[in-house]
Amino acid sequence: MQDIRRIFAERLGQDAPTIVSQAPGRVNLIGEHTDYNNGFVLPMAIDRWTEVAVSPRDDQTVRAYSSVFDEFVTFEMPPDAPPRSGGWRDYVVGVVTMLARRGSLGNGFDLAIGGDVPLGGGLSSSAALEVSLALALVQMYGIEMSDVALVQLCQEAEHAFVGTHCGIMDQYVALMARKGTALLLDVAALDHRYVPLALDGVTLLTVDSGVRRSLAQSAYNVRRQECQDAVRWLQAALAEPTIRSLRDVREEDLKRVQHAMPTVLHRRAWHVVTENARVLQAVDALEDHDAARFGALLSASHRSLRDAYEVSVPELDFLVSWGEDHEGLGARLIGGGFGGATLHVVPAQEADAYAEGITRAYAAAWNQEATVARYRPGPGAKQLLSRGGG
């Protein structure tokens, strides 16, 4: 990875940045489609980072350079909420505008963005960018802000300026993660606890199917709507106004109303309610160092995503089944579905053979290349350099 300080010096024509910060990408171990239903998720930060380097300017201009796109973006402070560009500019304008809404920021700045979180691969490079940038700017402008407020500001920036109605998980874990752990996030309480990821003899692999998630955005919106409809139906049927989200629904109540409830709504609710339970069971399994149980829960999650939430595709099912038929302890699709990657729990001594076997089998079955990666649970966002701000 190229040093962000050098990129900054070369591209922005200054000697050294005032502030350097970084934020990681993430893999969500279990708890899929639960975050926007006020439930539980269990992500870990990965050992891949987005880095930003910033220096204040003595005029109103913001000049930003991204090494990934090898491209500059400029605008004047305060940003006047321009129409969406559809590009990375929206993330920078979004974070800056959200900060400026909290009080006047003053001058502009020079910004270089680098790092090695793969873009658009379901590892949440977008949150890594938002959080690393917000962290640097909060420091540079001397803004006092709680961690949770910063997380919410980044999420809001993505909602309002990019138009992606993401849950809060990605930004939360990017900021709060701790090395060697997964983070159990209770979205309703906006509270978390760390779960040591000490599965000796086990490796976590992701396998990117290479299937682009073309349906993902529209399907995501449909699923969100279905979940809201399910909540409304259950509120009426169970006569429990205390049900505000699927988080508040009990499995036995869902079973009871199964035949009365519209099938699709019941399926969606069933996934979310049982997935929340699986997250908590997975935490128990990790705390018991029980890799087999942890893996089995991932596989159960996949079946639920496939059959009840209906967001899988045959390529992802193939990857999961292949793992289960070989040495894998369990696997599931990760991310929104309709493409992207799967996560596999594999005995460490089998990892190389597994990686080779699954890529070969996938190529033979789908005439397409699958890419295996291995990530370790890394720490959350941090300031790498701070020489005082302007």
Q: Which of 9, 119, 365, 384 touches ligand ADP (CB under 6 A)?
A: 119
Q: Is 288 a catalytic residue?
A: no
Whose Cβ is closer to ligand ADP: residue 330's or residue 340's? 340
Of residues 157-176, which lie at the interface with ligand ADP (CB under 6 A)?
164
Stretch touching ligand ADP by CB under 6 A, among 64-72, 172-180, 289-297, 379-387: 64-72
Question: Is 66 one of the binding residues for ligand ADP (CB under 6 A)?
Answer: yes
- Residue with the CB atom nearest Mg ion in the bound state: 126
Beta carbon of residue 3, minimum distance to ligand ADP (angstroms, whole number): 15
Of residues 67-86, which lie at the interface with ligand ADP (CB under 6 A)?
68-69
Stretch touching ligand ADP by CB under 6 A, among 115-123, 280-288, 298-306, 373-381: 115-123
Whose Cβ is closer to ligand ADP: residue 124's or residue 203's? 124
Q: Which of 36, 49, 88, 338 touches ligand ADP (CB under 6 A)?
A: 88
Of residues 107-136, which lie at the interface with Mg ion (CB under 5 A)?
124, 126
Whose Cβ is closer to Mg ion: residue 57's or residue 159's? 159
Q: Which of 18, 126, 206, 301 touches ligand ADP (CB under 6 A)?
A: 126
Integer angstrom CA distances of residue 364 from 213, 322, 361 = 21, 12, 5
State the number of binding residues for ligand ADP (CB under 6 A). Answer: 19
Whose Cβ is closer to Mg ion: residue 116's or residue 350's? 116
Integer angstrom CA distances of residue 85 from 27, 99, 107, 246 = 28, 20, 23, 35
Residue 119 interaction partner, one of Mg ion, ligand ADP, none, beta carbon < 5-8 Å per kind: ligand ADP
Residue 340 interaction partner, one of Mg ion, ligand ADP, none, beta carbon < 5-8 Å per kind: none
Catalytically annotated residue among 35, 90, 110, 170: 170
Whose Cβ is closer to ligand ADP: residue 64's or residue 234's? 64
Beta carbon of residue 255, minimum distance to Mg ion (angstroms, whole number): 35
| Binding interface with Mg ion (CB under 5 A) | 124, 126
**Mind telling me the catalytic residues?**
170
| Binding interface with ligand ADP (CB under 6 A) | 50, 66, 68-69, 87-88, 91, 113, 115, 119-126, 129, 164
